[in-house]
Amino acid sequence: MAEERESLREQQLYSFGRMLAGFSHEMKNHLGIIRESAGLISDYVEMNAAGLDPALSERLLKATAGIEQRVKLSADCCRALSGFAHRADTPLASFELGELAGESAVFLERFARLKQVTFVVESDGDAVLVNSPTLVHHLLYRLFFLVVDQVETNGTLRFISSPAADGALLRIVAEDAETKRIRLQVPDAADLAGALTAAAAAFEPAAVDGEILLQFATCSDAQR
């Protein structure tokens, strides 16, 4: 029964992933057309500058540059969404923790901004892991919300990934506005219980010198 539930959960994640991936591809197509159309307008304005009111010409070029800049930002969001969606393609996969955390950051950054906190994801070397990417995404999401409230206004929250002997290490560090380190409280394991399954059994939060350290283990053959 538990195996059936797990299989159904994986199928649901796969379906959601495929739908999200399709959506992000579609959005990128629209963005591509918007970007090229804005570029075409600026091309025509530049080519016909001699016959246009200089103030109008400047406004049009400013507007098209604004469109192109927003398209670029939107395309970056779509790329992150696409990467995120494709994580559900396989229940267990080899991935780089920093890259995966970077995808999460695109979606979590807004929540940090609403709390007037700067959220930064850094990589301290390739941290390649074999585990469930969707589960690790879920853990990062839960961890983010468990610690972001502890960061002061105008402070900075950092997720720093690095390689470890049998997997990967994630350091969670917070700083106040003067870049002085803040001591974070280690999340209660019970708060994360729902996110913990066999695939992430080796995930253990611990506090050392104001940092929260999380060890992510590569799954054993038996767990794959």
Q: Considering only 20-28, 118-126, 159-167, 196-204, which stretch makes contact with another protein by CB under 8 A?
A: 20-28
Place of tokens 């839960």: 142
What whole-number distance in Å separates Cα of residue 48 and Cα of residue 64? 15
What whole-number distance in Å separates Cα of residue 222 and Cα of residue 39? 54
Using CB under 8 A, pick the residue from 9, 25, 62, 180 that binds another protein. Answer: 25
Closest Cα to residue 146, out of 80, 107, 176, 190? Answer: 190
Our CB check for another protein shows the closer of 31 and 101 to be 31
Closest Cα to residue 202, out of 185, 190, 218? Answer: 218
Positive or negative torsion for Cα 22, 25, 27, 29: negative
Instruction: Give phi and psi for 199, each to the nearest 5.
Output: -65, -25
Is residue 126 near another protein by the rule CB under 8 A? no
Is residue 31 near another protein by the rule CB under 8 A? yes
Using CB under 8 A, pick the residue from 11, 12, 43, 124 that binds another protein. Answer: 43
Using CB under 8 A, pick the residue from 10, 23, 39, 128 that binds another protein. Answer: 39
Give residues with Cβ within 8 angstroms of 142, minimum separation 6.
187, 191, 192, 195
Instruction: Give phi and psi for 213, each to the nearest 5.
Output: -105, 135
The SS3 call for residue 121 is: strand
Our CB check for another protein shows the closer of 75 and 186 to be 75
Is residue 18 near another protein by the rule CB under 8 A? no
Region 53-92 residues binding another protein, contact defined as CB under 8 A: 71-72, 75, 78-79, 82-83, 85-86
Is residue 104 near another protein by the rule CB under 8 A? no
Site size toward another protein (CB under 8 A) is 25
Is residue 102 near another protein by the rule CB under 8 A? no
Our CB check for another protein shows the closer of 43 and 204 to be 43
Q: What angle do CA 135, 141, 145 make, to 5 degrees?
A: 145
Using CB under 8 A, pick the residue from 7, 11, 15, 29 that binds another protein. Answer: 29
For 117, the token pair is 């906190």
Is 206:118 a contact under the CB 8 Å cutoff?
A: no
In the complex, minimum distance from the CB of residue 192 to another protein, in angstroms, rounded to a whole number: 29
In the complex, minimum distance from the CB of residue 201 to another protein, in angstroms, rounded to a whole number: 29
Residues that bind another protein (CB under 8 A): 21, 24-25, 28-29, 31-33, 35-37, 39-40, 43-44, 47, 71-72, 75, 78-79, 82-83, 85-86
